[in-house]
Chains A and B, each alone.
Chain A
Amino acid sequence: MNTQRLLNAYTWIFLAFMFAPLILMVITSFNDVSPPSVTDWRGLTGKWYAFFWMAEADIRADPVLRSLDRDRFIGCFVNSLQVSVVVVPLSLLLGLSGAVLLTRWRSRANGFLWWVLLSPMLAPGIILGLSALVFWGRLGVGAGLFTIMMAQVTFVAGYPLLILMARLQRQPIELEEAALDLGASPFHVFRRITLPFLLPALLSAAVIALLSSMENYNTTMFAKGGACTFATEIGAMSRNPNGHPPVINAVGTVIIVITVVAALTHAVLTRREAR
């Protein structure tokens, strides 16, 4: 089995390629040097993490951290949360409506609806941000958090749409029919049968919508005006002429740890369920 061994080796190389930059990121977040470096080791430090809770005076004493604006950073993160609080429920509602119409509505407009609703997922993200900016500007709404929300909902709603459609197509329609025949009102059927059936899909769609809203950079950059979000603020730090501060690597490490823990928990849970 020579090809098998080759394939194994290739898979390992691929995984190494995917993980090596991330591992370097974790290492650099503990190195006491800015810009982050692995080759120039100046000793272990936790100050890139401590930045978020250390005293104001300590920050001012540090030559690198001094130039960073912690309050702005936290403010931008709060903005991101505000945006996703609107974007996630809204995109779940739009995605659910779209999924119901696309699976159940037998009409000639169906094909057209497919194209319209899926086009934001296909279009380059920058175009969605720009068109939201221009459109709402025309209506007299200035660029800011509102345009960010609108621009994000446009494509984020596509994820619940696809996830819920996959689930709806597998729904046993007999259950619904039986309930209707037994005299349940359609709303009652929807609340007691369809929604519980969709619940797992709704939850995973909500998680995906939340993540894509938080991490979105391309669309947000174009719609943001003077506002900022978590992603744009992180992106803006790359403009630092001396290279970006390792604080970003610390944030990245936290994100990596959260992701790994979440993925592991998910895998373990699904395995236990399978048994």
Chain B
Amino acid sequence: MRDLVRSFGKGLTSVFFAAVIIWALMLIILPQLTMLEKALTKPLRQLDSSIAGGLERDAADCANILGQYTEPTEGAISTGGLAVPSASGMAVPSMSGMTSPTMNNTVQRPYILQCDRSTTRRQLVRDKGMAAFLDQQYGLPRLSVAADAPIDKQIAVAREIEAIAAGLYIRLQAAEASESQLGLDNFATIGKPVLIPRSAEAQAVSDADLSSKVLTMIGLRYSQDGEAYQRIGLETLTRTLFFAICATLLALVVCYPIAYKVALATSPEKAVWLMLGLIIPYAIVELMRIYAWTSIIDNRGLINELLLWAGAIGEPIQFKRSALTVFVVIVYTYVLFMVFPIYNVMSTLDRNQIEAARDLGASTRKLHWRIVIPHSKPGIAVGCIATFMLAAGAFSVPRIISRGLQSEWFSQTIYNKFFEVNNSNVGAAYSLAYTVICFVIVGLFMWIMRTRLKDFARVQ
């Protein structure tokens, strides 16, 4: 610290410290902690108070709609178009009275969704196998708006339910505010099995698939009582990591000879032009590199048209539906992130060492195994980490290439949790878990390769 003040003065040193502290705290650490808090918080709509609030709104809507309906005309009954979507659309549908009341001759009103949902016997969100209802849990009278009662009676019941629910809502909210809502439930949803409704034939086709067999073997798919279950979240996560690791290995195998060629096997004058050939595709905007592939893999794209013309296929192959296409484009998009770190380290190797090894009779294999690879190990490690992280976090490639035509990448799952189903608590849990898993993999890899973080500065 004293050294710093001596070389930069008090003013500059404090500016440097302030900037780094802001960067570390406001941009890195605190946001991640907020994510952690969000991930540990139960989703708001699953709380008992939210369900009581939903009931209050439904009952109020029901009473209001019925109020306009006190003077029924013949036409109004037959159209029955009074069902107004309730504001609490996400509430759990009521379990009672699901038989359509319009089938009944004694019915006094048309089908009104809100009135059907206005029942104190409303199910609460609990763990599997532990059903709980609002009336049992909080000792409410069991009330519901009967479709065959006289209209004014129905309104009275609805108003009564509304008042009870409103009181309960305030009580529960006060109670929930004072107790902590933290828990690991959101993280558990990653491994939750989901029932897949499939016909027997579709199931047989799916079972015959090799990937399905592997997934069944590691317990991500199973069937119970003739129904198929998949742990979709975990399955997507596994698939994404598997593809990311494959992409990294493939990129390493593809890039090592290129880096060697540019760094050591070309005269420096020629190497400048080769470097140019690598820098140009590297510097072009990532999205454009992805879009460039669409005219190749389209249903009427280059490959399909060529195959059709040659008569090899009768119908275009749906490349967009194949996960392999996404894999290839990911390799194309991120492969150069492997070349440059390896090149940077490799080019520091003294060419005389290679000459000496050759003169002493080393074979090409031995030359690489004993001299070039050990020397470029930090570059290989950094290249692998960069490529793996880019491939694992890829969002643009699957989004643009697949257009939702095939199974998701984990980054898309996270996106959907946040922005499509609006469940940011679960989304936060997913993204945190994903970060931790990726960092653990990278940490393990760095430990195996004996890489230190400082190598990043040396290599880039």
**Per-residue interface assignment for chain A, residues 1 to 24, with 1 indicating a CB less than 8 Å from any chain B CB and 0 otherwise:** 001100110110011011101101
Taking CB atoms and an 8 Å cut-off, the chain A residues in 143-157 that contact chain B are: 150, 153-154, 157
Residue of B with least CB distance to A23 = B292
Q: Which of B21-29, B69-77, B123-131, B147-155 contacts A (4 or more CB under 8 A)?
A: B21-29
Identify which of A93, A189, A222 gathers the most chain B CB atoms within 10 Å of its CB.
A222
A263 engages B4 (CB within 8 Å) = no
How many positions in chain B have a CB within 8 Å of any CB in the partner chain?
97
What's the A-B contact tally at a CB cutoff of 8 Å?
273
Please tell me if B242 contacts chain A, counting CB pairs below 8 Å: no
Chain A contacts for B6, CB-based, 8 A: 180, 186
Instruction: Decide yes or no: A126 and B292 within 8 Å by CB, A11-B261, A117-B23, A154-B27 being known contacts.
Output: no
- Please give the distance in Å from A121's CB to the nearest CB on chain B: 8
Residue of A with least CB distance to B388 = A122
B20 engages A97 (CB within 8 Å) = yes
A218 engages B283 (CB within 8 Å) = no
B415 engages A40 (CB within 8 Å) = no
Please tell me if B92 contacts chain A, counting CB pairs below 8 Å: no
Chain A contacts for B1, CB-based, 8 A: 105, 107
Please tell me if B83 contacts chain A, counting CB pairs below 8 Å: no
B460 engages A130 (CB within 8 Å) = no
Instruction: Decide yes or no: A217 and B31 within 8 Å by CB, A18-B277, A123-B389, A134-B38 being known contacts.
Output: no
Please tell me if B203 contacts chain A, counting CB pairs below 8 Å: no
**Per-residue interface assignment for chain B, residues 262 to 296, with 1 indicating a CB less than 8 Å from any chain A CB and 0 otherwise:** 00010000001111111111011111110111111
Cα distance A96–B20 when bound, in Å?
9
Cα distance A262–B260 when bound, in Å?
25
B292 engages A38 (CB within 8 Å) = no
Taking CB atoms and an 8 Å cut-off, the chain B residues in 1-45 that contact chain A are: 1, 3-9, 11-12, 15-20, 22-24, 26-32, 34-35, 38
Please tell me if B439 contacts chain A, counting CB pairs below 8 Å: yes
Chain B contact residues, CB within 8 Å of chain A:
1, 3-9, 11-12, 15-20, 22-24, 26-32, 34-35, 38, 254, 257-258, 260-261, 265, 272-281, 283-289, 291-296, 298, 300-302, 305-306, 332, 335-336, 364, 385, 389, 392-396, 399-400, 403, 411, 414-415, 418, 424, 427-428, 431, 434-435, 438-439, 442, 453-454, 456-458, 460
* Apart from A94-B22, A150-B26: 19 A-B pairs, beta carbons within 8 A: A7-B261, A36-B295, A38-B302, A100-B16, A101-B16, A124-B411, A126-B411, A126-B414, A130-B428, A130-B431, A132-B31, A134-B35, A180-B6, A187-B9, A214-B285, A222-B415, A234-B287, A260-B280, A263-B283
